[in-house]
Structure 1
């Protein structure tokens, strides 16, 4: 089986690559800059330099591939949904031209809404496009990544997180490594076919108030969480350098799931993964916050 992996240096992709290598697979990895691969992994993979927005290049890079782990690349443009559409065209062309038999797609909780969830709408578009070509596909509907907290290190060091969601609203939080383990299992397992949705919910749903308490205990530094208005968050995102279109897309991922949203898949033993936020924060976040003091 020849397996291709996109975004192999990303939060999830790098763990997918490592998991496949441990399973005895030599994956083909697609990325813009092969020099970004970790030194220890370079000799274990076949690296292909490719822009995921270039449909012809992606199709050429996935020739003879039988299974594909696809992640829509991150975008910083004024029209992120247009970028998602370009990436979708690439994966559809690659799968149809090369007759790739199965795809594992990194989606998100909220994609089931199809519209009204900001940047997640781009993932929903990829889901429906893959569904439309009849390939065996698993959509991984993932919760909120622990690693998103690393985008707010300055705020964490200052002791305050600001969010637009209700502080007592629970949501799924998940470790990217756990997502990768599910992805690898799906890529290697012959036991499924057709269209599948596999939610990846982490070990438990957490409110932002609970998250603040967990981070305080893990880092030894008091961290409070504060709810702010949508406009205040817009101002913060613009100050961070985001375009207006990207600001609305990022904000929409929260506001679109704020009112009466219920995930299509409820939490079960199948959707629950083991790594806790407390363990991850102690291992990954604690030193990033305290060493900068």
Structure 2
């Protein structure tokens, strides 16, 4: 039995379809079962509730061999520990109690690179917490998602601009959500791996924000430019939207760390290179979102 958390999220939706199509028995944890397509409810066991709740994960992990773990964002959290390790502690207890063998988790690049990288540092602490339970653990260590650009679709569509506190010339890796889901599915369906390990996933090329603006302009057939914003302006924008101080500061610290080379420390290898280029992602995902 494979348990999948966040089955209605960007990664979870594709992952769930792939694992179901492979014929594996699947159980999902979802806050609202009505958000699942009817065909999924017909093919998978559904446990309703939060995977941060001990009773819910105890029920979901009973008889399960493998779990896909993703800590959901909590923009109102009082601390980053609440978002990551605090949220995962009930699941860690249930991993041991219910005899889960393997866990595949969504994590981040940057272990041992910089001392304070906000959300990245908190994510890596969560990895340690999970691994310390004794489960076999694979952390998908990820750079910035290409799909995060979808949060700026309206600005790109209406103003031809996107914003970030990252230097316009800093070249960094990115990866597409679909490649993350496919890598997770491969691990979930493989019962042979053991121990603890990181699985870095890097897109085929390092691009700067200015590079991305150029590619988006070419794909969309309209000018798109990149606008750098200061960390202070970035934080003010987040706080105005109701994001908590702790969550906002974590994003700011992460941006500073990435700007200082956090994601560039991992060497790209044939094994870590994912197939989707940013141009392909723009053609397949961004263009329909902007022009549709």
Q: TM-score range by the shorter chain?
A: over 0.9
Aligned residue for 1:256? 257
Cα distance change, pair 262–172 in 1 and its aligned pair in 2 (3 A): closer
TM (norm. structure 1) is 0.93
Which segment is superposed worse, 6-15 or 46-55?
Answer: 46-55
Aligned residue for 2:84? 84
1:60 aligns with 2:56: no
The correspondence of residues 60-209 of structure 1 with structure 2, limited to 5 A, is: 60-81=59-80, 82-113=82-113, 115-157=115-157, 158-209=159-210
3-state SS of 1:198 partner: strand
Which segment is superposed worse, 256-265 or 86-95?
Answer: 256-265
How much does 1:111 deviate? Answer: 4.8
How much does 1:86 deviate? Answer: 2.3
Give the Cα–Cα distance (whole angstroms) in 1 for the partners of residues 60 and 190 of structure 2: 23
Structure 1 vs Structure 2 CA RMSD: 1.7
Which segment is superposed worse, 105-114 or 267-276?
Answer: 105-114
Give the Cα–Cα distance (whole angstroms) in 2 for the partners of residues 95 and 265 of structure 1: 30
Moved over 4 A (4+): 111-115
How much does 1:155 deviate? Answer: 1.9
Whether the aligned pair in 2 keeps the contact of 1:118 and 1:253 (CA below 8 Å) is yes
Cα distance change, pair 280–38 in 1 and its aligned pair in 2 (3 A): farther
Give the Cα–Cα distance (whole angstroms) in 2 for the partners of residues 245 and 126 of structure 1: 17
Per-residue CA deviation, residues 26-53 of structure 1 (Å, 9 max, x unaligned), is 3100111111112332212111102122
Cα distance change, pair 104–78 in 1 and its aligned pair in 2 (3 A): closer
Aligned residue for 1:226? 227
3-state SS of 1:12 partner: helix
Whether the aligned pair in 2 keeps the contact of 1:52 and 1:73 (CA below 8 Å) is no
3-state SS of 1:266 partner: coil
How much does 1:115 deviate? Answer: 4.5
The correspondence of residues 26-41 of structure 1 with structure 2, limited to 5 A, is: 26-41=25-40
The correspondence of residues 46-57 of structure 1 with structure 2, limited to 5 A, is: 46-57=45-56
3-state SS of 1:197 partner: strand
Aligned residue for 1:24? 23
Give the Cα–Cα distance (whole angstroms) in 2 for the partners of residues 168 and 241 of structure 1: 30
Whether the aligned pair in 1 keeps the contact of 2:169 and 2:209 (CA below 8 Å) is yes
How much does 1:121 deviate? Answer: 2.4
3-state SS of 2:258 partner: coil
Whether the aligned pair in 1 keeps the contact of 2:76 and 2:242 (CA below 8 Å) is no
**Consecutive unaligned residues in structure 1, runs of 5 or more:** none
How much does 1:62 deviate? Answer: 1.0
Cα distance change, pair 99–117 in 1 and its aligned pair in 2 (3 A): same
Per-residue CA deviation, residues 213-265 of structure 1 (Å, 9 max, x unaligned), is 11111212211012221111112222333222221122222112222435564
3-state SS of 2:173 partner: strand
Give the Cα–Cα distance (whole angstroms) in 2 for the partners of residues 257 and 284 of structure 1: 24
Which segment is superposed worse, 138-147 or 279-288?
Answer: 279-288
Which segment is superposed worse, 5-14 or 115-124?
Answer: 115-124
Whether the aligned pair in 2 keeps the contact of 1:161 and 1:224 (CA below 8 Å) is yes
